């Protein structure tokens, strides 16, 4: 793959682009979103860019998907008292802008910012 075709997440994983990393495991990394939509907004990303979206990941490596969810839970326990939203955007019209599967962990909305009915307003 040519350098300019690599996703921004692949470049973060390689250390080419700085990020506020909050978890760095063997197969998964998590870092703060640079455009947060909630008091806590983390991206939980597999270190492989083999999968463009969560459907491909679930079919190709369900254990890696489970690891992403487990890391998200651990981070939510640490940073949001275990209360959070975990969102996977799939496709451009759903808001996916980086086609390297990743989960958005949103939490910390003590002011009701994450209450029911607010999903489309973030």
Which active-site residues does the annotation give?
Answer: 102
**Nearest Cα to Cα of residue 95 among 61, 122, 68, 60:** 122
Q: Give bridge partners of residue 103 from the DSSP assignment.
A: 44
Closest CA to 21 of 46, 44, 55: 44
Nearest 10 degrees: Cα torsion 95, 96, 97, 103: 120
Rounded to 5 degrees, φ, ψ at 88 are -115, 115
């Amino acid at each position: 793959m040519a350098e300019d075709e690599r996703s921004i997440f692949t470049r973060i994983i390689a250390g080419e682009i700085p990020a506020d990393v909050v978890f760095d495991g063997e197969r998964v990394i998590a870092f703060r979103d640079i455009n947060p939509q909630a008091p806590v907004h983390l991206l939980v990303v597999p270190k492989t860019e083999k999968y463009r979206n969560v459907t491909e990941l679930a079919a190709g490596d369900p254990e890696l998907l489970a690891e992403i969810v487990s890391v998200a839970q651990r981070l939510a326990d640490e940073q949001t008292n275990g209360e959070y939203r975990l969102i996977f955007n799939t496709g451009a019209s759903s808001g996916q802008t980086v086609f390297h599967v990743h989960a958005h962990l949103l939490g910390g909305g003590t002011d009701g910012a994450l209450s029911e009915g607010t999903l489309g307003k973030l």
